[in-house]
Structure 1
Amino acid sequence: MSSDASLDGVPAIAPTHNGVRVDRVVTSGTFELDGGSWEVDNNVWVIGDERECIVIDAAHDADAILAAVKGRTVRAILLTHGHNDHIGAAAELVSATHAPIHLHRDGRLIWALSQDTPPPDDMTDGQEFHVGDVTLRVLHTPGHSPGSCSFHASAMHVVFTGDTLFQGGPGATGRSFSNFGQIIESIRTRLLTLPSGTIVLTGHGDATTVGAEAPHLDEWIARGH
């Protein structure tokens, strides 16, 4: 586990707003789908002030995530999508924090592939979550999976994109329940329309910005999935 006060690959690091900050926890485990298994490192994002926070994704290691929470009240656990590497610590986090957990309705089928418990509360496009005086707005960005969502914190000039947009292009779409044309449309209409200085905090790997990625859209389309 690592908790970063800085975010790799972005010049204006560790975005803050009126005492609200973003911390990154990197956890390690496996991603399993379509009979395959891959070792992966996941970014878990904890956004909050000294009293309360929101956790984005529940990847692999609940203890590591709780160490970053540092005893604060967890207002919500938001899941970018239902792949097992993003939700494996969900039950432990809910048990430890008693926080509500949210997944887009279209993510229920993938949730059920790895979880025996009922799916979390439905999350809808445009829904808002609040921590301190920062608002996180849900952007439904399907393609990597049907229920994939991003979370835009406009006051902090940050968007959390899960596995929809990475440094260097879109997330993978060569597996079940994914669609390359759909992820391109999500990126084109929901993410690249954000201000160019918006910091993109991803589900794996380094951060980037909307302005750094936008010029490459046609290259990604030509490259395909």
Structure 2
Amino acid sequence: MGWEIAGYREIKGGHLHLDGVSARRLAEHYGTPLFVFSESRVKANVRELLESARRVHPRVRLCYAAKANSLLAILRAVREAGADVEVNSGGELYKALRAGFQPEQIVFNGVSKTFEELEEAIRAEIHAINVDSLAELEMIAHLAERLGKRANVALRLVPEIETGSHAGLQTALLTSKFGLSPSEITKGIQRALAHSRTINLVGLHVHVGSQTPTHEPYARAFAMMWRLALALYRET
């Protein structure tokens, strides 16, 4: 059948097998409904993505979005396959650390981070907190000052790019509630440098949306990020 994948999802003896294990036996043992994930398939997918990306540049890092599936077993499999992780809540940050990710492997994304979540991320000294607004940047600077820490942050850019997908899935336009406009990014860089004792500006972040039908919006977004990165380099 067309949906079978050799070695992962197969029909044997009239029964579905996952990773060589009978789905019928799993259901009999654990009961139903039952979710079954292939650890070997998860790891193979991660490694395939990493190998493809690193053929373009050896320093590419792949951050798995924990919101897709934050089961500890899945997070451990992703880590063991060589990926880093992106979290969207304090709970996901906690689980990422429990799964064995080092703080420098963790990026914290999301538009509604609480004071408590930001404090946890700052204390853990994670790789980056993606900042969605100038107000959030000031909040992080204040919390880092209180904690006696220097927070690693990246500024989220709204590149003003139409992607061609459904309007509700586009996050790269100024009508989006996410991120900073190009002019705000400039202010963000200036404020981060002004708070250099408590803020360590480590990069820029962009998310153009979901189900984008072509690569062209990504190319335009990366070009804008490159120009801003050059401006940041000149500032520092």
Q: Normalising to structure 1: TM-score of the pair? A: 0.33
Q: Which one has the bigger strand percentage?
A: 1
Which protein is bigger by CA-based radius of gyration?
2
Q: Which one has the bigger helix percentage?
A: 2
Q: Normalising to structure 2: TM-score of the pair? A: 0.32
